[in-house]
Amino acid sequence: MIRLDCVSKIFKVSEPGSASKKDFHALRDVSLEIENGSIYGIIGRSGAGKSTLIRCVNLLERPTAGRVFINGVEMTSLKEAKLRAARRKIGMIFQSFNLLANRTAFGNIAFPLELERWTRQDIADRVHEIAALVGITDKLDQYPSQLSGGQKQRIGIARALANRPDLLLSDEATSALDPQTTKSVLTLLKDINDKLGLTVILITHEMDVIKEICDSVAVLDSGEIVEEGPVLKIFTAPIKSVTKELLAHVLRTRLPDSLAGLEFTRERGNRQADVLLRLSFFGNVAAQPIISDIVRKFDVDVNILAAQLDHVRTTPYGTIVVQLSGGDREEAIEYLLDLNLKAEVMGYVARSGDITY
Ligand SMILES: Nc1ncnc2c1ncn2[C@@H]1O[C@H](COP(=O)(O)OP(=O)(O)OP(=O)(O)O)[C@@H](O)[C@H]1O
Ligand SMILES: [Mg+2]
């Protein structure tokens, strides 16, 4: 288990036109726990403190306050030599790959093992083993300049894994790759996580990455964790506005373009007004029976205006926008709110049957 206990990081930054330095809080009281063997995502706007946070885990950045534990060992209390040894059990991959240009792929993967003074034979065995795992056996003699981005990142991953780390840190590792290569690198990370039981902490701007491979996710905003939990929960019921904003694209919480011209008011104009309702559901709650249910129970008419279905890992989730008219709309909404789905009144359409789209 990885545990951060009230971690803060303050940078001293110079102020323009002044000789004095000011404190800048890059992280404030960050506490979190990460289960061994899980894939943990960190999201947040640019400058939120994501890289600083991940660098505090392996102490590339030393926290100003707070403690970092990895499997019970307090990293923040280790002396230099012990810290160096502990860090060898933490692999890291980067957006820019950070490969050594004057070494072949083999030489890059072998590098951390040479530092550990492995024998030549052991190094050769391990490099071939790990190269097979990441699928670059035929590239071992090539130099980084002769490789594609995806191949370079596979070398980066192989190098990070060479020394059999318990933890892999990934800072925007797929940001420089095209969507298809991103997908193959992610599949590889997930595969490694499954096969080796390795814990992965990853930062990404791509919410689809989180949706596809992470178990849990933390949302950082101005150096603070504002929301944290299982991906399914955060993605289907985000609470904080920054989370909603970050997820707007994957959640498609905005009205679809086809409804852009739809005129509705936030305030209920008259009692006859139709209600525009957005229903979000996930897991086993299927939309169809619910709709026929409220039609039957409350005598309302339901007009489906838009519907989307997606998956977080293997769990389906979706959003539908409906227009309710007639019947007992209030009771129907109450009923929906009681179910395991989120119902949100988006607005009201002044006169029944007024909708054109
Ligand atoms: N060494 C440093 N000295 C001063 N300020 C720093 C230093 N490193 C980071 N910061 C500041 O801390 C804040 C958080 O930076 P960080 O790199 O962690 O953000 P991030 O969330 O990774 O952003 P991005 O998504 O753009 O990579 C930024 O405002 C940055 O300017
Ligand atoms: Mg960063």
Q: Ligand 1 pocket by C-beta < 6 Å: which residues?
A: 11, 13, 24, 26, 44, 46-52
Please check whether the two domains, 2-251 and 257-349, share a CATH topology: no
E strands in the chain: 2-14, 21-34, 39-44, 65-70, 73-74, 90-94, 167-171, 199-203, 216-221, 224-230, 274-282, 301-312, 315-325, 341-349
Which tokens go with 279?
């229903």
Proximal ligand: closest to the CA of 223:
1
Question: How would you label 91-130 residue by residue, b for 16+ Cβ within 10 Å and e otherwise?
Answer: bbbbbebebeeeebbbbbbbbbbeeeebeeeebeebbeeb
CATH code of the region 257-349: 3.30.70.260
Measured from the Cα of 26, ligand 1's closest atom is 12
Distance 72 CA to ligand 1 centre (A): 28
Q: Atom 17 of ligand 1 has which residue's CA nearest to it?
A: 51
Which tokens go with 77?
């209390």
Q: Atom 7 of ligand 1 has which residue's CA nearest to it?
A: 11
Q: What is the pLDDT of residue 223?
A: 97
Q: What is the pLDDT of residue 340?
A: 65
Note down pLDDT in tens along the chain; length 357 residues: 999 999 999 999 988 888 888 999 999 999 999 999 999 999 999 999 999 999 999 999 999 999 999 999 999 999 999 999 899 889 999 888 899 999 999 999 999 999 999 999 999 999 999 999 888 999 999 999 999 999 999 999 999 999 999 999 999 988 888 888 888 888 888 988 998 899 999 999 888 889 889 999 999 999 999 999 999 889 878 899 999 899 887 766 556 666 767 777 777 777 778 888 888 777 666 656 778 888 999 999 998 888 877 777 777 777 788 888 888 888 888 888 877 677 888 888 865 444 444
Measured from the Cα of 24, ligand 1's closest atom is 5
Length of the chain in terms of residues written: 357
Q: Would you list the domain boundaries of the chain? A: 2-251, 257-349
CATH code of the region 2-251: 3.40.50.300
Closest to 97 in 3D by CA, of 115, 87, 84, 109: 109
Q: What is the pLDDT of residue 285?
A: 63
CB 185 within 8 A of CB 177: yes
Q: Atom 2 of ligand 1 has which residue's CA nearest to it?
A: 11
Whether pTM exceeds 0.85:
no
Which residues make Cβ contacts (< 8 Å) with residue 35, sequence separation at least 6? 1, 199, 215, 216
Nearest-angstrom CA–CA distance, 38 and 171: 16
